[in-house]
Structure 1
Amino acid sequence: MNAPGPGGPELLEITANAGVVQARQAVRALAQACRLSLVEQTKLITAASELARNTLIHGGGGTMAAALVEERGRRGVRLVFADRGPGIPDVDLALTDGWTSGSGMGLGLSGSKRLVDDFVLDTTPGQGTTITVTKWAR
């Protein structure tokens, strides 16, 4: 992460449902500290919740690093979700609205991508997935 906040990135383990709840709470606190609007806070928290749940369910657990960032005169919140799960064999398919690898509605990855300003997915089948998202203050 570039230019983390004063305390550096916060790292949370996501190994149970409690980790998903903690991730949402941490993201809410950072979004407020960044002075995101209520609508932008809600978008980021929703995306974080989906990505944390994917980390747990599809990745077998992992981590979320969260930090305030500043780049090119902008301030935002950056989240990095990482797991060592099976990876995503077909990224294009996984980012297609309506496609699901389980019993969900198929809006997790594609919906999360729409809710944030920057979305980077790095995955290797058999090695895991890292998703980095950033929401910039307006």
Structure 2
Amino acid sequence: MNAEPEGLTGTIAIQVESDVVTSRQMVRKLTRQLMFSLVDQTKMITAASELSRNTLVYGGGGEMRWEIIERDSKWGLRLAFEDHGPGIPDVQLALTDGWTSGKGMGMGLSGSRRLVNEFELRTAVGEGTCVTITRWKS
């Protein structure tokens, strides 16, 4: 792993459209730092882009937290996207390909889940949502 100033943990606010770009750029830096393959970099950057946009559009803004982690001598990147928006009333429906509560394509949550090794969604109506994803270096 290359040493870069990002460190092992950090946070980026997601409050405006340009923050979605900033989060994507940070994930690119972190996946390069971890020496992920180009395919794994692309998967993690794509998932982060989708979840950042969801945080902004559906959650009214929030933050992305990152953590470089190690388990069983393997390095990984864990990202958590948290908002204090309306929450998701029907999680199963929200995870169904093609379903959207807005004008999107309905691939954000379900597509992101397929791109990562670990996916966790916590939500409460009226309190917000936190989606945590992890990808391990292959």
Q: Structure 1 length as normaliser, TM-score?
A: 0.94
Q: Which amino acid aligns with 1:13?
A: A
2:50 alignment counterpart = 50
TM-superposed deviation, 1:66: 1.1
Q: Secondary structure at the match of 1:22?
A: helix
Q: Which residue of 2 aligns with 1:94?
A: 94
Task: Normalising by structure 2, report the TM-score.
Answer: 0.94
Tell whether 2:128 aligns with 1:117: no
The percent of aligned pairs where both chains have the same amino acid is: 55
Q: Determine the structure 1 residue equivalent to 2:78.
A: 78
Count of residue pairs brought into register by the alignment:
134
Residue 12 of structure 1 aligns to a residue whose secondary structure is: strand
RMSD: 1.3
SS at match of 2:27: helix
Unaligned runs of 5+ in 1: none
- Whether 1:62 and 2:62 are equivalent positions in the alignment is yes
SS in structure 1 of the partner of residue 86 of structure 2: coil
The 2-side partners of 1:134 and 1:23 are apart by 15
Letter in 1 for 2:54: N
One-letter amino acid matched to 2:29: A
Unaligned runs of 5+ in 2: none
